Amino acid sequence: MSILKETATVINQKEISPGIFDLKISFPGGADQAKPGQFVGIYCKDGGRLLPRPISICGIDKAEGTIRIVYRIAGSGTREISGWKEGDTFEILGPLGNGFTPGEGRAIIVGGGIGVPPMLELARQMAGVKTVVLGYRDSGNMFLKEEFEAIADVKVSTDDGSAGIHGTVVDAIREYGITGDTIYACGPMPMLKALAEYAEEHGMEAQISLEERMACGVGACLGCIVKTKSRDHHTNVNNRRICKDGPVFDAREVSFS
């Protein structure tokens, strides 16, 4: 698989929750190669922002030649992107990183916060029995929930208890008695740590997608690293590059200490 840098076009964009935007992009080469769990680097038009903004892929349509990203405004770069309109063009790099590897058996697909969007395409492509667990801040911020409900059994947890289980996604898994063979997850590090511990406790496999600020997006700068239990052949230390070796890792390989 090759990494492409092309001129992409905005198909449409809308705000689906406060500060959360849904952007559909014409990117035929990238859509043809993309897999769930990968991401793209989007270049701003402002010349003062040289590095691309890494954003996870939420949807892939190979027939249309489009990808979809759902992102939160986190700074000046994503604020600029949120203002783009239909027909606007920009430079894009991708698909980047290594995505999820669907396995056999029953899947538990977990997304927390802005880690929810990258799990949607995986849920769509995942065959067999699956349960989706989504963690949100509150009931007024449950973006993409209805799309998940159209393809899977969905359980919810919220920080304030206004919907679903009051607590974490692990609380929801325990409370609803959800069982499975493999956990697939994306979200904040404390959530991933808790899921990794839960998987180990129950003899399950877990694939986790790490969220991290990135610079180059292709593994050259060593700016985004995670401590691992095995040595990386590139650096000869117990670190891996999230953008190049991940963002998806076997949870057993990640050191959360």
The CATH number linked to 85 is 2.40.30.10
Please tell me whether residues 37 and 66 are part of one structural domain: yes
Please tell me whether residues 54 and 77 are part of one structural domain: yes
Please tell me whether residues 110 and 141 are part of one structural domain: yes
Please tell me whether residues 64 and 120 are part of one structural domain: no
Residues 134-179 pLDDT 10s: 999 999 999 999 999 999 999 999 999 999 999 999 999 999 999 9
Domain boundary among 209, 231, 248: 209
Write the CB contacts of 195 (distance below 8 Å, at least 6 apart in sequence).
110, 169, 170, 183, 185, 206, 208, 251
Please give the order of strands across the beta sheet that includes 153-158: 165-166, 153-158, 130-136, 107-112, 182-187, 205-210, 248-250
Q: Is residue 89 within 8 Å of 29, Cβ to Cβ?
A: no
Q: Which has more confidence, 247 or 236?
A: 247
Burial class (CB in 10 A: 0-12, 13-18, 19+), 243: buried
Please tell me whether residues 47 and 90 are part of one structural domain: yes
Please tell me whether residues 126 and 28 are part of one structural domain: no
Number of domains in the chain: 3
Please tell me whether residues 138 and 192 are part of one structural domain: yes
pLDDT at 74 over 80: yes
What is d(CA 239, CA 224) in angstroms, rounded to the nearest whole number?
A: 10
Please tell me whether residues 124 and 170 are part of one structural domain: yes
pTM for this entry: 0.91
CA distances from 24 to 8, 67, 100, 158, 208 (A): 10, 6, 22, 28, 25
**What local confidence, expressed as pLDDT, does residue 1 receive?**
62
Domain boundary among 78, 96, 114: 96
Mean pLDDT of 74-97: 96
What is d(CA 109, CA 116) in angstroms, rounded to the nearest whole number?
A: 10
pLDDT at 218 over 70: no
Please tell me whether residues 138 and 200 are part of one structural domain: yes
Please tell me whether residues 193 and 249 are part of one structural domain: no
* CATH classification at residue 236: 2.10.240.10
Please tell me whether residues 234 and 138 are part of one structural domain: no
Q: Are strands 107-112 and 130-136 parallel, antiparallel or unpaired?
A: parallel
CA distances from 148 to 76, 108, 151 (A): 30, 13, 6
Domain that holds residue 140: 101-209
CA 247 to chain centre: 8
For the chain, the straight-line distance linking the first and the last C-alpha, in angstroms and rounded, comes to: 34
Please tell me whether residues 159 and 218 are part of one structural domain: no
* CATH classification at residue 192: 3.40.50.80
Domain boundary among 58, 78, 96: 96
